[in-house]
Amino acid sequence: MKLFIPKNYNSVLDVNQTEQAIKLIKDIFQLNLATELRLHRVTAPLFVKQGTGINDDLNGIERPVSFPMKDLQETVAEIVQSLAKWKRLALADLGTKEGFGIYTDMNAIRPDEELTNIHSLYVDQWDWERVITKEERNLEFLKKTVRKIYSAFVRTEFHVSENYLDIEPQLPEEITFIHTEELAKQYPDLTPFERETEAVKKYGAIFVIGIGGELPNGEIHDGRAPDYDDWTTPTEKGFKGLNGDIIIWNEVLQRAFEISSMGIRVDKQAMIDQLKLRGMEDREELMWHKMLLNDELPLTIGGGIGQSRLCMYFLQKAHIGEIQSSIWPDEMISKCKVNGIHLL
């Protein structure tokens, strides 16, 4: 059991205040996000058909929850793991113009998740996607988008502090950009997570660029599926990758705290190259992948922003179970109770 108990932890808000604050955060943040990126809300599926290529494979090893559908000749459906691919389908179906996009509430079940202070079987996030031009498939546009999202974080944190005076803002005004290869050069003897920890402890908030591709030393900073984010396109300084993670320093947990995974999505060539690198060329025969190869899907940028994690950070909570209702090991429940951590 991986559980961290902060020394002398005492929740700033009680349970009732917490529930009210969760709604406040969600209302304010999604409005700011939609305004910054010109998004409108859409309804999203909880499950999709197996074998279509629509479901997110994450790192390619996580098992999706699946079930047969009685009225559809026992066709198997899968609970979504994220909506990375579905959103491009939705944008194509809606005929969304360049410069505009969509966001939605994504609810998922990830049964292989390791249960910790920040990981749960239940995943809730704002999934968003925006149509871009071919000319916008570059690092500067990625950074511009990250800054807009980060500004929504900062404004939301201010609103929380105005409504709950015992909570003081902690985010720096600006987010710092750093590539995985730069981290590897700066901290060659550390693990990828330890590198992130050192960098975010220094800057407060970072965007780590280029996640999924192989580093010069042969390792991969962190896993990414080969068919949604672009982690092979060359960028500045000879680096590769048009994707990344927004990571902030969590003072309560004393650790790096990933709040969002996002990136410019693969075009035809990037998907072909990345599938080949992962030995997954057979995916090109799936429905979604054929649509991309046939130019039936728009070029996009998109990502997911953890709802419970964002609330957890702003409300200075020690455990994600203080924000969402899920299932936890009995030992974890007991230990949290003794240490003043109220799991919902």
**Given 157, 229, 230, 258, which residue is catalytic?**
258
Q: Look at residue 228 and give its three-state secondary structure.
A: coil
Order of strands across the sheet that contains 75-79: 47-49, 75-79, 66-69
Helix, strand, coil in percent for the chain, rounding step 5 = 35, 20, 40
Q: Is 56 known to be catalytic? A: yes
Q: Is 195 known to be catalytic? A: no
Query: Which of 339, 327, 29 is CA-nearest to residue 159?
Result: 29
**Given 57, 227, 245, 322, which residue is catalytic?**
245
Report d(CA 44, CA 47) in Å as an integer.
9
**Given 30, 81, 120, 261, which residue is catalytic?**
261
Q: Is 110 known to be catalytic? A: yes
**Given 30, 81, 82, 125, which residue is catalytic?**
125
Report DSSP state, residue 73: T
Report d(CA 312, CA 186) in Å as an integer.
30
Q: Which residues of 317-343 are buried (b: 16+ CB within 10 A; e: fewer)?
A: bbbbbbbbebebeeebeeebeebebeb
Report d(CA 202, CA 247) in Å as an integer.
12
Residue 333: CA count within 13 A, CB half-sphere: 8
Query: Do 41 and 103 meet the contact criterion of CB atoms below 8 Å apart?
Result: yes
How far separated are the first and last CA of the chain, in Å rounded? 19
Query: Could you give the C-alpha distances from 58 to 91, 92, 94, in angstroms and in order?
Result: 21, 22, 25
Q: Is 161 known to be catalytic? A: no
**Given 81, 82, 110, 307, which residue is catalytic?**
110
Which residue numbers are catalytic?
56, 110, 125, 245, 258, 261
